[in-house]
Amino acid sequence: MTIQWFPGHMAKARRQVTEKLKQIDVVIELLDARLPLSSRNPMINEIVGEKPRLILLNKADLADEQVTELWMRYFKNQGIRTLPIDALSGKGVNKLPAYCQELAADMLNKRAERGMQARAVRIMILGIPNVGKSSLINRLAKRAVAQTGDRPAVTKAQQWVKMGDSLELLDTPGILWPKFEDQMVGLRLAASGAIKDELIDFTEVALFVIAYMMHYYPERLTERFKLKQLPEDRVEMLEEIAKKRGCLVSGGQVDYDKAAEIFLRELRSGKMGVISLERPEDWEMAEPIGKPLSLSQADF
Ligand SMILES: Nc1nc2c(ncn2[C@@H]2O[C@H](COP(=O)(O)OP(=O)(O)OP(=O)(O)O)[C@@H](O)[C@H]2O)c(=O)[nH]1
């Protein structure tokens, strides 16, 4: 699904989320474990405010476990609890109810002090498109309440889904936009498959990922493409990939775009192993790896 994120739509999305939040005790912020900050809404702290929050690092099955640990530490330092999960297989999801109960303890205690009846903790899921919100809702509800993947925009009344006696989940997630102002974010989202292929320049995105892998995962490249040594730069690396995958045009020239597309498909299908596309330190670097991509708000 491509969402046309124009300023009016962002304001509307924010209003809708803010409205839903009034009924919520604990917010579940869903991020992509491979690119947590790039898959995060830039105004999330302002939107969520002081409400207790849990960050779920979804698609952890596709991320580098060691890097996921660095991210958990990063968010812990900001006072936010994280849980890596895989919404498809359900791995990690069973810990969620206990975490939500802990985060809602203040609210529950206050109610008890005032002599009010105990009630279920109400939670909702917030995240950018394609991060796995519907997959998680279906997993938590143990049935298909939210549709995943491509679907027409169908509006239906929101409902609470009971999760045991102590938790209630809002069956419609809050959809927010990513950070458009940062072009590196666009590259990471494109690499992860979050942006429609028709809208991306394969070569640009592949060169970004190649540069990243030459730095952090050089042996994956040499092993996958059977190279004795790593080439000098990323363009040479893409040339090698083109040669290995038979992407040649007449006159012996290489077809960069075809090679880039093949490379990205191999990356996304996990053929190069689990890979994280950003690390906390990338956000502190003066010269980021890779070059910017020109994406507009309408591309998401
Ligand atoms: N490998 C892996 N894939 C996942 C996981 N969670 C979701 N996906 C896939 O990611 C894609 C997007 O999942 P959805 O649940 O539709 O995401 P969403 O956030 O509801 O997306 P929108 O409806 O666009 O807002 C689907 O192809 C899912 O199968 C996960 O934990 N691991």
Residue identifier of the C-alpha nearest atom 16 of ligand 1:
148
The single residue listed with the structure tokens 């498909």 is 265
Atom of ligand 1 nearest to the CA of 149: 16
Q: What angle do CA 16, 42, 100 make, to 5 degrees?
A: 65
- The answer, yes or no, to whether any atom of ligand 1 lies below 6 A from the CB of 93, is no
| Ligand 1 centroid, distance to 5 Cα (angstroms) | 19
Residue 70 domain-assigned? Answer: yes
- The answer, yes or no, to whether any atom of ligand 1 lies below 6 A from the CB of 175, is yes
Residue 244 domain-assigned? Answer: yes
User: How far apart (Å, rounded) are the C-alpha atoms in residues 145 and 142?
Assistant: 9
- The answer, yes or no, to whether any atom of ligand 1 lies below 6 A from the CB of 149, is yes
| Ligand 1 centroid, distance to 270 Cα (angstroms) | 15
Are 167 and 246 within one domain?
A: no
Last residue of a domain, one of 122, 154, 171: 171
Residue 181 domain-assigned? Answer: no
Q: What angle do CA 223, 229, 233 make, to 5 degrees?
A: 105
**Domains held by the chain: number:** 2
Residue 185 domain-assigned? Answer: no
The domain of 270 spans 201-291
Atom of ligand 1 nearest to the CA of 129: 25
Q: List phi, psi (to 5°) of 57.
A: -95, 95
User: How far apart (Å, rounded) are the C-alpha atoms in residues 202 and 208?
Assistant: 10
Please indicate whether residue 117 or residue 219 has the higher confidence score (pLDDT): 219
Across 32-36, 138-142, 160-164, 244-248, the highest mean pLDDT is recorded for: 32-36
pLDDT in tens, 155-182: 556 789 998 888 999 999 999 999 988 8
Q: How confident is residue 2, by pLDDT bands cut at 50, 70 and 90?
A: low
Tell me what the mean pLDDT of segment 111-139 comes to.
94
Whether residue 286 is predicted with pLDDT greater than 70 in this model: the reply is no
Residue 36 domain-assigned? Answer: yes
pLDDT in tens, 179-198: 988 889 999 999 999 988 98
Provide ipTM, 2 decimals.
0.98
| Ligand 1 centroid, distance to 86 Cα (angstroms) | 10
- Closest by alpha carbon to 31, among 42, 22, 23, 15? 42
Q: For the chain, what percent of residues have pLDDT higher than 90?
A: 78
Whether residue 153 is predicted with pLDDT greater than 90 in this model: the reply is no
CA atoms within 13 A on the CB side of 221: 26
Are 130 and 14 within one domain?
A: yes
- The answer, yes or no, to whether any atom of ligand 1 lies below 6 A from the CB of 101, is no
Mean pLDDT across the chain: 90
Whether residue 4 is predicted with pLDDT greater than 80 in this model: the reply is no
Whether residue 287 is predicted with pLDDT greater than 70 in this model: the reply is no
Last residue of a domain, one of 156, 171, 186: 171
Are 257 and 149 within one domain?
A: no
> Which pLDDT score, from 0 to 100, does residue 189 have?
95
- The answer, yes or no, to whether any atom of ligand 1 lies below 6 A from the CB of 62, is yes
Are 229 and 153 within one domain?
A: no
Q: Which residues are annotated as a binding site?
A: 58-61, 130-135, 174
Are 221 and 268 within one domain?
A: yes
